[in-house]
Amino acid sequence: MRYSILLAVAAPLAAVYAAPVRRQDRPNIDVTILKFADVLEQLESEFYQKALDKYQPSDFTSAGYAVPDLAIEQLKVIQQDEATHSTVLQAGLAAVGEQPITSCKFNFESALTDVATTMAVARVVEQVGVGAYLGAAPLVTDPVILQAAGSILPIESRHQMMLNVFSGSGTAIPSAFDMPLSPSEVLSIAAPFFDGPCDLGVPANPTLAITNEGAVGPGNKLTFKSDAINGTVSEDKLFCQMLVGGSPASITMPFNDCVVPDDINGPALIFITADSQPLLGNTLDRQTNNGKLVAGPALAFIDTQPQMLGQMVRPSGANSGSTSQTTQTITPEQASKIISGASSTTEGGAQPTGAPVNNGVNNGGKPNLAKGPSADGKIDVLGWSGL
Ligand SMILES: *[C@@H]1O[C@H](CO)[C@@H](O)[C@H](O)[C@H]1NC(C)=O
């Protein structure tokens, strides 16, 4: 049924390209963006398919979901949407004799260790999808392409809201504004999921991982890892830049004193720069003004306002019942593995632990380093702020 709309969306893409006059003017940037978007959709589609293949309803029960089939029902819809997006984008490209990129391989081993990890990763993946389409919008030169591609954006956003709810601890709609991501920023977050070379014609920013062990929230200091933070520039001279939706510019803090502010709720982008100039909220000016970017962004969800909806769907899931607010964290060791690229053949490679559980109640503030979901289902897994 979903494919019945395929032509409706593919037709404008094809018509634009097929029109001889306009075709002459067809800017390569539009083709590059469509190819880029298609590869992201392939990534998403394969990720959800692997998750659906792997998990049983009982796995969702173990992860704290009240009605496991409810989550599975939504994941199936999301998977279908992503597959349809890819099909349509490829049809649009093929209609004008352009080849989609189909040679990129993905590795989701580290994201599919357990339902809690997978759902946390999915939440990030959808946020990246929203940011990618929003960030691509001002780059598209043909308005018909813009509208056709723009019709995908709100769908990614609906997916993302669903994943906020499924997190159990998130706000369904945390902000009145969302955050655009430039293609290089998108790749920096998605890079760890690419298995082998995948040339999209766009350079990736250096990947940044947040390495805190234990839960972090307002007042907590963030620590980081990136190949680009390697002593070339002294850490004393680096800055952490935190950007949230609707904000004209980032909050700038010293690298060694990057504390989560009190008034943040929802997704935040975190960059490392070599100067204290705030990064701008819009990707265009951010790109022309980011000569001092060192790494990032990392994407973190800072859940300070849990809602009834999420707690109903996942009553014993991540963070529910906890008074501490958390973002997603990984160990430095995981961060190294993620950054150096997960190897699908390495046993146990790059497994995000469900570890950092710290409700500040039972464990004396020490991070719980157990792997996977904790026995009581209070999982902060989190695992993937640095993806
Ligand atoms: C070290 O970091 C700098 C940027 O800060 C980067 O240009 C360089 O490639 C990095 N070196 C390695 C070995 O990753």
**pLDDT given at position 212:** 85
Mutate to test the pocket of ligand 1, among 232, 234, 239 (most ligand atoms within 8 A of CB): 232
pTM for the predicted model, two decimal places: 0.80
Domain 2-166 is classified in which CATH homologous superfamily? Ferritin, core subunit, four-helix bundle (1.20.1260.10)
Residue 175 has pLDDT above 90, yes or no: yes
Q: Which atom of ligand 1 is nearest to the CA of 230?
A: 1
| Rounded distance from Cα 229 to ligand 1 centre (Å) | 7
Name the residue at shortest CA distance from atom 5 of ligand 1: 228
**pLDDT given at position 27:** 58
What digits encode the pLDDT tens for the residues 99-139? 999 999 999 999 999 999 999 999 999 999 999 999 999 99
* Interatomic CA distance for residues 40 and 387, integer angstroms: 14
Q: How far apart are the first and last CA of the chain?
A: 34
| Rounded distance from Cα 301 to ligand 1 centre (Å) | 27
Residue 362 has pLDDT above 70, yes or no: no
List alpha helices for the chain, DSSP H. Answer: 6-18, 20-25, 28-54, 57-62, 68-94, 115-136, 143-150, 153-166, 183-190, 283-288, 308-313, 332-339
Q: What is the DSSP letter of 73?
A: H
Expressed in percent and rounded to 5, the helix, strand and coil fractions of the chain are 45, 10, 45
CB-ligand 1 contact for 232 (6 Å cutoff) = yes
Q: Position of tokens 């998977």?
A: 79
* Interatomic CA distance for residues 251 and 239, integer angstroms: 10
Question: Is-contact 337 349, C-beta < 8 A?
Answer: yes
Residue 287 sits at φ, ψ, to 5 deg, of -70, -40
What digits encode the pLDDT tens for the residues 69-82? 999 999 999 999 99
Residue 331 has pLDDT above 80, yes or no: no
Q: What is the DSSP letter of 239?
A: E
Q: What is the DSSP letter of 298?
A: E
CB-ligand 1 contact for 234 (6 Å cutoff) = no
E strands, the chain, where?
209-210, 224-225, 239-244, 251-254, 266-273, 293-302
